[in-house]
Structure 1
Amino acid sequence: METRMDTSSVDKTPLLDRTATGAPSARRLSAGVLLILLLLLGLTASPPSKATYHSLFLSLGDNATAARHLLALTRSPHVAGTPANADAASYVRSALSAASFPAHVASYDVLLSYPVLRSLALSPSPPPSSAPATAFRLVQEIYPGVPYADAAAEALPAFHAYARSGSAAGPAVYANYGRVEDFANLRAMGVNVTGAVVLARYGKIYRGEIVSNAAAAGAAAAVVYTDSKDYSGDRWFPDGPGMPPSGVQAGSTYRGIGDPTTPGWPSSAGCERLSAAEVATSGMTPGIPSLPVSARDGEAIQRSIGGQAAPHDWQGGEGAPVYRLGPGPGFLNLTYIGNETLATIENVCAMIEGEDEPDRYVILGNHRDAWTFGAVDPNSGTAALLEIAQRLGKLQKRGWRPRRTIVFCNWDAEEYGLIGSTEWVEENKEMLASRAIAYLNVDCAVGGPGFHASTTPQLDEIIKQATKKVQDPDNFSQMVYDSWVNSNDSKLIGRLGGRGTDFAAFVQHIGVPSVDLSFGGGYPVYHSLYDDFVWMQKFGDPLFHRHVAAASIWGLVALTLADDEFLPFNYISYALELQGSTKTLEDEVLGMPVTFTPLYRSIEELEKAATNIDKEKKALELEVGLVGRRKDPLKVRELNDRLMMAERAFTDREGLFHREWYKHLIYGPSLHDDYGSNSFPGIDDAIQKAKSLNISDSWRFVQHEVWRAARVVTQASRVLHGKLT
């Protein structure tokens, strides 16, 4: 039975402010109202242009609508595969249908993981000591005044999905952030990890890598805690935005992509599947038990560890105990029993069919499932997606029709390993490879102030142009672009090499140009019980203006790609960036028997091809714009197809070495951190291995990877040229 949130005690003031992007600007509102009246009364001299409709789209933003969607989506914890998440899927489907977009559900049966038994006890010394052990409660405390305590009580206990079931005991060893280099430093300092229970803190790499690194070092189990230095700040929730002392970051430890039982193919009904034993030995799930714990529990374990003091940069914040390395004398006894079971997940999809090119798709995606309430992650993005749908529904009633088809996708089971999006991409791979213009992803639309974007490089300019048209939700005197370029980000636009969210299958598996957008960077209550509507209303976005701005930028990018006659892709900047990335790799292997000449030559050809297609596009724009000249839609279509397909050419069917699912040879995740992003990941992997082995065969393999990258860049050049050799 679904527990509904009692909203009587929630401050609803922000829901009353309906200003589109936060500025009480009479001039902007009047212009928008006038435009709507003209369209309604049919007083425009000619059919409105696409640009007119795009301006109208921006004027239709409504922060009250975004807030209502978020409130509805976060009434109960909704982990993938649960009835509460099925209810959330029904809500999304109803909201899309209400916007006049027929919606449907694409279901898959996939392997999900749920906790059955968790226990963790700390003894002050190892057996056979008779000193009493302290058992940790492993409970996230419900904060005072919470308006939905009954719903909070329904949340699953914090756990690591796909952690190995079993019991382990051993002396505690502190391993900082659990990175490969942290374990190397422990070895250098003479600390033996074999048979120990590793204590590591969240914050630098993917939790699945932390546990796997601990297993590789010989640990019996791993405990990963939320260090107050990294997550709590000066004040914790509900008085401040920080993680409370009992807060725990849940999450998956699966290192693969998609359903673990169907690696590389869709988990459709009656399909081939790996057995549970095959999944367990695939190397994609950790080989040891693990548990996530709170800052309070983590510091209690820290106080039990002796031995030499940890290095300065491994220490905690002010007031924390001195962190020591161990092993012991504190002795941990950990048990985790999980239930891995096939469960049904539901992707909700809808589309607006294109008027001129219905077989060309601009895809907007966001996931719905959450470890608990998911106000930031992911339902701020879901609320923004539904807000866009409502605005586009209103545009349709005013007569707008997109040139190309717009597809809305609300994914399931992202938190477990990008499962919903990956299964859908694998099932529709050939259609998407030939028809997808771009994939536009928003996961955490709002976690705080400050705009962030990551893209494949040909889409950089379209993001910049969109932010120049949307008002900054935190400074009404300027546009988002102004605050963005004045931020302290060393690199304005990131790249999509990591596998942190649902763009991975689109970019890294089939080579679709993609975007990922958000307001706010990391937020302290990530994946905890406290990522709820109250946190968002008090700290994340009190007036919901950031939600509206996120929807405006996201929607405007989609409209530009769907409506512009010529795709606004720029491959010249792509080539220039690849030159810089190549130089970085070359500098890393100076003096080694490796030449990057083949890659430099291929990038030069890419730059020439990009320059030529840019000239072609400008000439064709002039040609079709001449009075009395008939447009040649086939020429426009053919040129756009080359722009669309060039990204596909950066993929290779063999994929990365020992990571074959990742087909993109330009952007892919770091070998030892799935959150990290590398340019030319295959070359980088080979360089790191060659440095550790330093034998001639390893350097020859680096050269092989350089040639592979050069070949895909050459193929992209040929696609842009559009001529056979």
Structure 2
Amino acid sequence: MPEGEGWLAAAHYCQLLRAVPCVFCSKDRREQLDDARDLPPLLNDTPAPPSLSKKRMNWRLLLLMAAIFLAVLVSLFNILMPARARANGANQWQKAFMGAVNNASIRNHLFQLTKEPHVAGTPEDFATADYVFQRFQEYGLAVHYTDYDVLLSYPLHRSLILTAGPTQEPPLELSLKEEPVEGDLYSQNPKVIPTFHAYAPSGNVSGEVVYANYGRLEDFQKLAAMGIDVKGAIVIARYHAIYRGDIVENAGNAGAGAAIIYSDPQDYAANYTQEVYPHSQWLPPSGIQRGTVSQGVGDPLTPGWPSTPKAERISTSDPEAMLPTIPSLPISAEDAKPILASLGGPVSPAEWHGALDLPQYRLGRGPGVLNLSFSANQTVTRIRNVIAVIKGSEEPDRYVILGNHRDAWVFGAVDPNSGTASLLEVGQQLGELVQKGWKPRRSIVLCSWDAEEYGMVGSTEWVEQNIDILGTSAVAYLNVDCGVSGPGFSAGASPQLDNLLQEVTKQVKDPDSVDHSVFEQWVASHKGSTPLIHRLGGGGSDFVAFLQHAGVPALDLQFGDDDYPMYHTAYDNFHWMEKFGDPLFHRHVAVTTLLGLMAMRLSSDALLPLDFVTYAKELESYAMGVQMELAGCNALGVSANPLVSAISNLKSAALQIKQQSKQAEGSSSVLSLLRRRSINDRLLQVERAFLDDRGLSGTGRSWYKHLVYGPVSSNAYGTSSFPGIKNSITLALSASSKHDDAAKMRQWAAVQHEIWRVARVVERAALVLQGSLT
């Protein structure tokens, strides 16, 4: 180490600790530091009492100096401890955590959290907030509430009446109810909220019925091609393929007066080839999937800013609120059957046929006619997040954030409280490690979100309120929502977390195959050499605001399918979980262990385990896809070269910082400490560089700022790479068949502009990794 640099680094550290002159400083330099400390006394300083002797004062001063000197030595020892010794210590703490995770404790948390239905904004929901708060407090964590006032929606009146055309049959009023199940006391609870779509507008609509399969854009295009007029009709579609809000929006854009959505047994009951709940895991005929149909993220009345009590609020009719324009209702397969049986018209395509006991699925229109009546109470309501913190010992201003939402449409044993139980167990076991002497380098923040079911409301308002701090200090956000719904591990992540995720899954035994790790079973399930890691561009859970709006790397973990049979029904309760979802709660143990290990690594590794070589390679494959798409559609001189060049620069910068990390990892000097901090700061900031303040253009989703990953324009649940580029290509291809040459040129010029936009954010990311000014 150069003599000057070594002294400066050590002296700087001494100053930070306000230490006595240390062994790193020469006599002259110590005098310079002493002179710098010779400040005038504070105004409230008072002299020592006359009775206190000078000798006694000297002894006290010597003791104080000795204590400070000892503290300096301990701190320097911790910092300069050899990397191998640190790693060995970290491994021991990780093993202690893995051995402590307890399935009985997790089971008890889930039982307590799911005793009552707890929709956001209700007293029962606030009771779960208190439960989480008290548990965190018991575990010795610093914990507080953060409340927001947001627009929520509750049903007041619902009815759906079927008139079977001009025949003599009387009208049929459909039940819109989930039937109680024998042996399941939860399904008999009178507090279960009636089935409805949150934020659906009130209205009374009558119209002939049209069947629209999954309600996708291509399904409505198929109807138009077959001559089926949707204007003024009531559309019936089935759940499963896309976000329910997009089904409603697609129906409205096609001219429908209202929409109803049901759960077909083909998608949720194994075609009725097996028994249904309570005899199996499958959805009974009366099961109904509730859910929001808002197109926005967060509180509709405060788009882009936090919904604090005195915040500005827009009108529900403002387009920025992104609320639906036509009424809608969810219904059961039991109620859907007579509706579909009432339809005439052409037979639907074979792939549109579900598993209801019908001779054929016909398209309509009519002769069946529906009258849909719905009224809702849309009101500004208080919600409550619970935030707990384990303070970092060396970098308390860097945050590893763990989160899970707590509110549920009914009991929410899978969605979300399997995740809440896991989050609480992580808090308990990490809290106990702290009591035994474990000190994470960086702070760990555990967040229990509210009102996620209405559109990630609680987490989004918190991110919008803390976005500047998150932008400088958040390391990563780790999410668990539907933590356990069955066997089989799956995960979504930002690419720089891939390697760490794979390392951690190799440490944990698979709960359904004790001879194999989670990693081995994960790979085997996809029949490849590497596991399938999903990307988090779409909506669906609380990682959205962190990644898409704040540029914080994110991770989402689960066992089972997030579109499991009991999703958003009254049957997603403790009884179903204990009987079918995870009888031994071993899957809960596994997901809890994975979540905790990820948090421990990200909070304690000296160098952040974020690998951008993986990220750059993935972007290379996306760029190749863009090139192929442009070549295949004769894109009028559009070139992907700016994007390819930017990704090449990013890859070079990623390889460079990886080499720098290896060099800094093996050294234990104070200067290396500063270098590691510099490297970590760059690694932490890269994801932010992929954001563009103008957001995704041409998708109606400008709140989404990330230009590498975003939602599919026609499905908020789907993920697209380079969503702006892909959406602009879709518009250009559409223009090519409808407009003149000048219009076509403008559309292809827009594609080129989107390519430049993405290239610019990739270049920014490369500069961040390089860490030097141009």
TM-score (norm 1): 0.91
Larger deviation: 424-433 or 655-664? 655-664
Is structure 2 residue 651 aligned with structure 1 residue 598? no
Is structure 2 residue 693 aligned with structure 1 residue 653? yes
Distance 2:359 2:436 in 1: 64
Query: What SS class does the counterpart of residue 516 from structure 2 fall into?
Result: coil
Which residue pairs with 2:27 in the alignment? none
Which residue pairs with 1:23 in the alignment? none
Distance 1:568 1:443 in 2: 24
Which residue pairs with 1:83 in the alignment? 123
Distance 1:266 1:219 in 2: 34
Pairwise mapping of residues 152-551 of structure 1 onto structure 2 (< 5 A)?
Answer: 152-233=189-270, 234-278=274-318, 281-282=319-320, 284-317=322-355, 319-488=357-526, 492-521=532-561, 522-551=563-592
CA contact (8 A) 1:302 1:321 kept: no
Query: What SS class does the counterpart of residue 113 from structure 1 fall into?
Result: strand
Which residue pairs with 1:42 in the alignment? none
> How many angstroms does 1:685 deviate by?
1.1
CA contact (8 A) 2:152 2:380 kept: yes
Which residue pairs with 1:41 in the alignment? none
> How many angstroms does 1:585 deviate by?
2.0
Which residue pairs with 1:37 in the alignment? none
> How many angstroms does 1:463 deviate by?
0.5
For structure 1, the 5+ residue unaligned runs are 1-45
Distance 1:62 1:393 in 2: 14
Is structure 2 residue 700 aligned with structure 1 residue 662? no
Residues 486 and 197 of structure 1: CA distance in aligned 2, closer, same or farther (over 3 Å): same
- Amino acid aligned to 1:68: N
Deviation digits for residues 304-336 of structure 1, max 9, x if unmatched?
A: 011110000000127444100000011100011
Pairwise mapping of residues 30-109 of structure 1 onto structure 2 (< 5 A)?
Answer: 49-109=89-149
- Amino acid aligned to 1:685: N
Computed over aligned residues only, the root mean square deviation of the Cα atoms, in angstroms, reads 1.3
- Amino acid aligned to 1:315: H
Pairwise mapping of residues 645-724 of structure 1 onto structure 2 (< 5 A)?
Answer: 645-657=685-697, 658-694=700-736, 695-724=744-773
Residues 316 and 56 of structure 1: CA distance in aligned 2, closer, same or farther (over 3 Å): same
> How many angstroms does 1:275 deviate by?
2.0
CA contact (8 A) 2:118 2:409 kept: yes
Query: What SS class does the counterpart of residue 444 from structure 1 fall into?
Result: strand
> How many angstroms does 1:118 deviate by?
0.3
Distance 1:461 1:373 in 2: 36
Distance 1:117 1:585 in 2: 49
CA contact (8 A) 2:290 2:569 kept: yes
Which residue pairs with 2:17 in the alignment? none
Larger deviation: 417-426 or 574-583? 574-583
Query: What SS class does the counterpart of residue 157 from structure 2 fall into?
Result: strand
Pairwise mapping of residues 555-634 of structure 1 onto structure 2 (< 5 A)?
Answer: 555-590=596-631, 591-593=634-636, 594-624=638-668, 629-630=669-670, 632-634=672-674
> How many angstroms does 1:606 deviate by?
0.2
Query: What SS class does the counterpart of residue 510 from structure 2 fall into?
Result: coil
Structure showing greater Rg: 2
Deviation digits for residues 52-104 of structure 1, max 9, x if unmatched?
A: 10110000011000000000000011000000000011001111111110211
Distance 1:622 1:149 in 2: 59
Deviation digits for residues 467-512 of structure 1, max 9, x if unmatched?
A: 1111111111111111011003776101011111100000000111
> How many angstroms does 1:543 deviate by?
0.2
CA contact (8 A) 1:299 1:321 kept: no
Residues 417 and 489 of structure 1: CA distance in aligned 2, closer, same or farther (over 3 Å): farther
CA contact (8 A) 2:485 2:581 kept: yes
CA contact (8 A) 1:572 1:611 kept: yes
> How many angstroms does 1:226 deviate by?
0.7
Distance 2:320 2:767 in 1: 38
> How many angstroms does 1:235 deviate by?
2.1
- Amino acid aligned to 1:111: L
Distance 1:244 1:180 in 2: 29
CA contact (8 A) 2:711 2:720 kept: yes
- Amino acid aligned to 1:526: Y
Query: What SS class does the counterpart of residue 93 from structure 1 fall into?
Result: helix
Distance 1:661 1:285 in 2: 15
Deviation digits for residues 22-69 of structure 1, max 9, x if unmatched?
A: xxxxxxxxxxxxxxxxxxxxxxxx997122101100000110000000
Larger deviation: 249-258 or 654-663? 654-663
TM-score (norm 2): 0.85
- Amino acid aligned to 1:341: T
CA contact (8 A) 2:265 2:356 kept: no
Deviation digits for residues 573-626 of structure 1, max 9, x if unmatched?
A: 1111001111112222222121000000000000000000001011111233xx
Structure 1 runs of 4+ aligned residues shifted over 6 Å read: none
Query: What SS class does the counterpart of residue 575 from structure 2 fall into?
Result: helix
Distance 1:558 1:149 in 2: 36
Which residue pairs with 2:151 in the alignment? 111
CA contact (8 A) 1:116 1:339 kept: yes
Distance 2:659 2:771 in 1: 14
> How many angstroms does 1:131 deviate by?
3.9
CA contact (8 A) 1:509 1:663 kept: yes
Which residue pairs with 2:26 in the alignment? none
Distance 2:124 2:493 in 1: 33
CA contact (8 A) 2:187 2:570 kept: no
Distance 2:397 2:748 in 1: 45
- Amino acid aligned to 2:635: M
Distance 2:307 2:338 in 1: 43
For structure 2, the 5+ residue unaligned runs are 1-84, 737-743
State percent identity of aligned pairs: 50
> How many angstroms does 1:352 deviate by?
0.1
Is structure 2 residue 594 aligned with structure 1 residue 553? yes
Deviation digits for residues 648-668 of structure 1, max 9, x if unmatched?
A: 100011111142211100011
Larger deviation: 478-487 or 710-719? 478-487
> How many angstroms does 1:630 deviate by?
4.2
Distance 2:750 2:504 in 1: 43
Query: What SS class does the counterpart of residue 130 from structure 2 fall into?
Result: helix
Distance 2:250 2:144 in 1: 41
Deviation digits for residues 148-206 of structure 1, max 9, x if unmatched?
A: 455x2211101000111101011110000000000000000111111110000001000
Query: What SS class does the counterpart of residue 168 from structure 1 fall into?
Result: strand
- Amino acid aligned to 1:256: G
> How many angstroms does 1:130 deviate by?
5.8
CA contact (8 A) 1:458 1:569 kept: yes
- Amino acid aligned to 1:704: H
> How many angstroms does 1:711 deviate by?
0.1
> How many angstroms does 1:631 deviate by?
5.1
Query: What SS class does the counterpart of residue 514 from structure 2 fall into?
Result: coil
